[in-house]
Each structure stands twice: as structure tokens, then as C-alpha cells.
Structure 1
Amino acid sequence: MTIDQTTENEIQTQAFAAELARRFGPKAFYALRGDLGAGKTCLVQGLARALGIDAAVCSPTFTLVNEYRGRDGARLVHIDLYRLAGPDDLDAIGWDDYLDSGDAMAVEWPERAGGELPPRAIFVDIRIGDAPDERRFHVTAPDAP
């Protein structure tokens, strides 16, 4: 399944993220691909809101992993792999434990994980559009079994 969407501002980007959360559910794995400043964290903010998370969501660039819990107990794990050298570094952040948890995950720079992404991964490619706040999304999700 593929979805293409263009948003004109952060509010629309977060609304699109909420649509994704409704479509794919509270245990989805999002692999977010895009240049620095493309809007990956903005998208995660929308996912978090849709999962009932009230906490401020920020990029885990330096912490590598941020965990958020929603009002109904849903958990979102936001991981930034930018600073990892490659898949061999995944053990240091507890990658397998996060995957096994079944919680929603949003992973920035997923290419650094090599072949360690789960088959359920939903790829979200983000491109900066013609206007400064415009974003173009191309979502590729595995077909339902």
C-alpha cells in the first residue's frame, strides 16, 4: 500500500500523522526517511498526539531514544539512529527489546539499522516542497497478511 500526501504547514503535517496513526494503529513501526529539517520530528509530534500523549515531543538526536506514554497507557518509542555507525550499535540502545515490546515506534535515519528493521515497517519518505513549510510524503506500508 502506498500513500502520497502534500502538507503546507506543521499543523497539516501533524494532522496527516494522526491519519497515519488511525490507519495503522497504536503498535505501528514508522521508518522515517528525509534530510535534516525535513519534518521527521514534526510528524512524530502528530503521531504522539494521536496516541494520547500530552508530553512535549522533541528530537532524540543526542539522547538517541525518547519514550513517551499516553493517557491510556500507549507507548511511543522515538529513536534517532543518525549518530550510530551502523547495525552493530543497535544492541547498545536496546533495539531488540523495543522491537519485542510491541509499542509504537518512530525511527529516524532507519537506513543505519541495515537489515534489522521489522517486516511490519511503514516507510515514510519526507521531502521539502517548493514552499518553505511544504512537505511531500510518500508512505509505503506492507500489505496486510
Structure 2
Amino acid sequence: MEVTFALEEIDTVAKQLLESGLKQIVVFHAPMGAGKTTLIKAIARSMGVKDITSSPTFSLVNEYETADGNPLYHFDLYRINSEEEAYDMGIDEYFYSGNMCLIEWPEKTPNLIPLDHSSITIKQLSDGKRHVTLK
């Protein structure tokens, strides 16, 4: 799936992504400031999360409750220094919990990301729109 959108269309795009059959593990690839957290917030809203979502840059992971009562985990691995550090925080327990995990900066832990995952790439276009590719 590929889609180009303006930020005011992000909730529609989030719903389309969810309807396309996202896997339990979703990794997000994009440069700093391209909108990874913004898209994750929209996905969380589409899943019925009522809590205020924010980037877990300092806590590494935020947990939210979806409309159906399941946990949704949002990871920001930017500040991880090694895969060992991520493993020590129990990242594998989250990944194999059966709950959705949305992961920013997955390239910090390439050997820990389960093979069965969805990958979203975000590109910021010169007109301010975003181009999203789901694989």
C-alpha cells in the first residue's frame, strides 16, 4: 500500500493502514521530524486509545489501552545504545506478548525485531505532504 496525504488527512490514512491488515509488530522508518510519532498517534486514536499519546523518547516505551481493552505498545528506540540494552529492558517480552507494538527507530535493534512484521516508511515531500509505503 502506498498513499500520499496532507497532515489533516492523517486519521483517514491511519484507518486505511489498520484496515490493510497491519501485523502485530509494526516498524516505522523515516528521518527525524518526518512524522513517525504523529502517524502512530493517529493509529492509536483509530484503535480507540483515549489517553494522551506522546513519544516515549525518554521512557523508551509507552503503553496505552485500546477500545477493546488490549495494550498497545509504542516504542521509541532512538536513545538505545545497544541491542543488549533493549533486551535487558525486556523488549522481547513486549514483542511476543500478542499485543500490537509500534516501533520508531527499529534500526537500533535489527536483530531483535521479529521477522513477521509490517514496515511503514514515511517520506516528507517538498509540499509538506507525506508519502507512506506499507510493506
Q: Judge same fold: TM > 0.5, yes or no.
A: yes
Structure 2 distance, partners of 1:139, 1:72, is 24
Query: Is the partner of 2:55 in helix, strand or coil?
Result: coil
CA–CA distance in structure 2, aligned partners of residues 23 and 135 of structure 1? 18
Give 1:143's aligned residue. Answer: none
Where does 1:57-72 land on structure 2 (aligned, <5 Å)? Answer: 57-72=53-68
In the alignment, residue 78 of structure 1 is paired with which amino acid? H
Deviation (angstroms), 1:51: 1.3
Gaps (5+ residues) in structure 2? none
Structure 1 counterpart of 2:26: 30
Alpha-carbon distance in 1 for matches of 2:36, 2:18: 15
Q: Using the alignment, how far apart are the partners of 2:15 and 2:25 within structure 1?
A: 14
How many residue pairs get aligned? The number is: 135
Once the two structures are TM-superposed, the CA of residue 28 in structure 1 deviates from its matched residue by: 2.1
CA distance in 1, matches of 2:12, 2:70: 19
Identity across the alignment (%): 31
CA distance in 2, matches of 1:23, 1:54: 23
Cα RMSD (Å): 1.4
Q: Does 1:123 align with 2:119?
A: yes
More off after superposition, 14-23 vs 119-128? 14-23
2:134 corresponds to which of 134, 139, 142: 139
Could you tell me which residue of structure 2 aligns to residue 106 of structure 1?
A: 102
Aligned to 1:7: 5
Partners of 1:86 and 1:114 within 8 A in 2: no
Cross-structure match for 1:80 = 76
Q: CA deviation at 1:45?
A: 1.1
Gaps of 5+ in 1: 141-145
Tell whether the 8 Å contact from 1:52 to 1:74 is kept in structure 2 after alignment. Answer: no
TM-score (normalizing by structure 2): 0.92
CA distance in 1, matches of 2:28, 2:106: 7
After TM superposition, give the deviation of residue 127 of structure 1 in Å: 0.9
Q: In structure 2, the residue corresponding to 1:6 is in which secondary structure?
A: strand
CA contact (8 A) 2:11 2:46 kept: no
In 2, distance between residues paired with 1:42 and 1:70? 17
CA drift of 1:108 comes to: 0.2
Distance between the aligned counterparts of 2:134 and 2:90, measured in 1? 26
Q: 1:89 aligns with which of 85, 91, 108?
A: 85
Deviation at 1:77?
A: 0.2
Report the AA paired with residue 19 of structure 1: Q
User: Residue 4 of structure 2 contacts residue 130 of structure 2 at CA under 8 Å; is this kept in 1?
Assistant: yes
